Structure 1
Amino acid sequence: MDFGIKGKTALVFGAGGGLGGAIARQLAAEGARVVVADIDADAAARTQEAVSKAGGSAMVMVWNIADLSLITQNIALIEREFGPVDILINNTGGPPPTSASGQAPDQWSRYFEEMVRSVIAVTDAVLPGMRRRGWGRVITSTSSGVVAPIPNLGISNALRLALVGWSKTLAREVGRDGVTANIVLPGRIATGRITFLDEQKAKREGRSVEEVSAESTASIPVGRYGSPDEYGAVVAFLASTQASYLTGSVVRIDGGLIPSI
C-alpha cells in the first residue's frame, strides 16, 4: 500500500529514541523527508544513519523542544532545507516515576513546560501552513496512563492527559482544512524507557528486573512486549492519505494490555 506521503516533510521529535526513531524510519520508508529532532545529537545521528542506509532522506536537528525560543528559527531552517512541515510527530520524554501527591510546584511547572506547553507551541507554529495547504497531520505520542493511570507515574498520567483534551479539541477546529489530529499511546513497547521503568519498579519492590518484566508480560494478551517498529508502523498509517477520515482519536498500540473499552 502506498501511503501517499512521498515528498512530504515530517518533523519527528524524540527521533533519537526508541519510539521516535522507529517512527522516523517508517515515515522515511514511505518516502517522507524526515527531520530527526532530538536533544541528543549522537542519538539523532544514529537515526539519520539508519534512515540513509535504508535509502531515505533525513536531516538532523539538535532541538530541546522545551526551549520555545528555538521554534521560529528551527522551523525556518526546515522550510529552507526540506520545505514546510506536513507531518508533525509530537513525542517528548517522560518525567521520572513519582506519586501524584507531595510533588513540589516547580516539578509540575517544569514538566508542564517540557511535555505540554512545548508541544502546543510547536504545533501552533506549523499549523497555519498546513491549513493553508489543505493537508496536514498532527500526531502526538503519549502513554497508556491517559486511559488507565499507571501507579507511581503521577506527573506523567496527569500532564499527558492534558494533551488528549487538547488534541481532541484541535481536531474539531482544523478538520475542514484537511488537517487531522490524533493521539497514539504505547503499551509495553520494548524501549529504553520501559527498561528504566521496570528497573525502578524492581528496586522499589525489592524484586529482580526479570521478575517484574515477566509479570508485565503475563498481563499482555499477546504475551510479549511490542517492538518499536510495530509502533512506528501505526503512526505512519495515521500520517497517510488513507487515514484522512481518522481524526480526534486515541489509538492504543498496546497488544491488548489496557483492560478498559
Structure 2
Amino acid sequence: MVLRSHGSQSNPHTTAEEVTISSSSRIALVGGGASGIGYATADQLASAGHGVVLAGRSAETLEAAAARLRERTGAVVGTLVHDIADPDLAERAVAQVEARYGRLDIMVLNAGGPPPGRILDVDDKGWLEAIDLLLLGPLRLARLALPRMGQRGFGRVVFVTSTAVRQPQPDLATSVVLRAAVTAAAKLLSREFAANGVTVNCVAPGATATERRRQILTARARTTGGEYAAADAADAASIPAGRAGEPAEIGAAIAFLASEAASYVNGTVLTVDGGRTETL
C-alpha cells in the first residue's frame, strides 16, 4: 500500500513523501501516543512494520513523537488530535483514520488516569469526568470500530487498564471502579466478533516508570507528609521484581495481543506488573 501525506495537523498525516508498507502490515490507532505506554506501544508496532496513528490532545507533542518514530523505524506514522473524553469526536476520529489510511485494524485504547483520590473524597463532578475519560470514551471508539473490523475479517482491540482492577488501591478510587467496568465491558465485547477474526483484550500494567506514576507517588508523599524518594522506594520494594516496569515492557505485551500470533487470545486480562498482584 502506498500512502501519501495530506491534511492539517487536526487530521492523521504522515510525512510529505510517499511511504510504502507491505500488504501484511496493519494500521493501528494508539491512544496517548505521544508519551509513556502509548508511545512505547506505537514504537513496538511501528518496529514490526505496521502503520501507526498517534492520538492525543496536543498537536505539537504528537507531531514531535511521530517525527521521532518515523526517524527511528522508517514506518508510516500519522497523528490525530483527539480528546477521548469528548463524545462529539469519537465518530470523526474513526472516520478520519479510515478515510486517510483505508482501514483501521488495531485500536489501543489508552488514556491518562484521573486524579488520585479515596472513594468518599471524589465528588460527582470528579466521577462524571472520570467516567467520560476511562469508560465511555473508550467504549464509544470500540463501538464504532469493532463492526468495521468484523466486516474486514481482522481486528485487535486492546484496553489498557491497571492491576488496580484485581488488587484495588484505596487512593485510586475512580481508576479502580471504572477500569473494572472496562474489564467487564471488554469481556462482553470479546464475544461479539470473535468468529470474524476480531479479538478484544485488556493489558493491566502495574507500577510503570511514567509521569502518571510520579503523580501518584507525589500525592501519596503529600498525604503522609513524607518524601517522594521514600514513597518511590516503598513502592518498588512491594514489587517482587524490585522495580517499576518500563513503558517498553508494557508496550511489548500490548503489541503481542495486537499480533497475528495472538489470534486465539480473546477476552482475557494480561497482567504486567513484575509479580506484585497477589490474586490469580
Could you state the TM-score of these two structures normalised by the residue count of structure 2? 0.89
Partner of 1:26: 44
Identity %: 36
The aligned amino acid for 2:80 is M
CA contact (8 A) 1:25 1:47 kept: no
Partner of 2:159: 140
Residues 102 and 203 (structure 1 numbering): CA distance in 2 closer, same or farther, change over 3 Å? closer
Partner of 1:16: 34
Alignment of 1:92-131 (within 5 A): 92-131=111-150
- Tell which deviates more after alignment, 152-161 or 37-46: 37-46
Q: Quick check: 1:234 aligned with 2:256?
A: no
What's the offset of the Cα at 1:103? 2.5
Segments of 4+ in structure 1 off by > 6 A?
none
Q: RMSD of the TM alignment (CA)? A: 1.4
Identify which of 110, 116, 119 aligns with 1:91: 110
Partner of 2:202: 183
Could you state the TM-score of these two structures normalised by the residue count of structure 1? 0.95
Residues 56-91 of structure 1 deviation map (CA, whole Å, 9 limit, x = unaligned): 211111111111212222222211221211000000
The aligned amino acid for 2:44 is Q
Query: Which segments of 5 or more consecutive residues in structure 1 lack a partner in the other structure?
Result: none
What's the offset of the Cα at 1:43? 2.3
The aligned amino acid for 2:135 is V
Asked which structure has the greater RCO (Cα within 8 Å, sep 6+), the reply is: 1
Give SS of 1:101's match.
helix
CA contact (8 A) 1:150 1:157 kept: yes
Q: Quick check: 1:156 aligned with 2:175?
A: yes
What's the offset of the Cα at 1:7? 2.2
The aligned amino acid for 1:29 is S
Identify which of 96, 99, 119 aligns with 1:77: 96
Distance 1:61 1:172 in 2: 29
Residues 21-64 of structure 1 deviation map (CA, whole Å, 9 limit, x = unaligned): 10111111111111100012232123202210121211111111
What count of residue pairs does the alignment treat as equivalent? Answer: 258
The aligned amino acid for 2:133 is E
Alignment of 1:50-65 (within 5 A): 50-54=68-72, 55-65=74-84
Identify which of 252, 256, 260 aligns with 2:275: 256
Give SS of 1:88's match.
strand
Distance 2:154 2:267 in 1: 15
Distance 1:191 1:5 in 2: 34
Residues 197-232 of structure 1 deviation map (CA, whole Å, 9 limit, x = unaligned): 111111111111111111111111111111111110
Partner of 1:211: 230
Give SS of 1:156's match.
helix
The aligned amino acid for 1:82 is Y
The aligned amino acid for 2:181 is A
- Tell which deviates more after alignment, 179-188 or 79-88: 79-88
- Tell which deviates more after alignment, 194-203 or 41-50: 41-50
Partner of 1:173: 192
Partner of 2:8: none
What's the offset of the Cα at 1:94? 0.8
What's the offset of the Cα at 1:98? 1.0
Identify which of 28, 42, 56 aligns with 1:38: 56
Query: Which segments of 5 or more consecutive residues in structure 2 lack a partner in the other structure?
Result: 1-21
CA contact (8 A) 1:5 1:241 kept: no
Give SS of 1:68's match.
coil
